[in-house]
Structure 1
């Protein structure tokens, strides 16, 4: 599930994102797990984690709902 963070709508939230940041976010949302997104993008798990951490600094820590296993 993709949430709107801190009341920010889609347009302001994606303004200023790089294509790489958007690609990582979408891969994690679609694949459901960081490791699956890493395989899908042919990147390391740490690269995906770093990319999501940067987005969390921008949007807040709850932009991706993370249950114990995978994402929703």
Structure 2
């Protein structure tokens, strides 16, 4: 018998500092990392979108380029 599993990939953390940890920040980086996770078997990608202005990396944003 085969058991089914859902593999989730959390690309970023709301408090993860990109200056300290290598996490995707830009919409392009997030898309590239999400594709890599999907290709590796992930079926769900969890990420926190970020304000792209300098010094605002920890603030959430609803950038239409990212979510649209």
Say whether the fold is shared (TM-score over 0.5): no
> How does the TM-score come out when normalised to structure 1?
0.29
Work out which structure has the larger RCO, using CA pairs closer than 8 Å and 6 or more positions apart in sequence: 1
> How does the TM-score come out when normalised to structure 2?
0.30
Looking at secondary structure, tell me which structure has more helix per residue: 1
Looking at secondary structure, tell me which structure has more strand per residue: 2
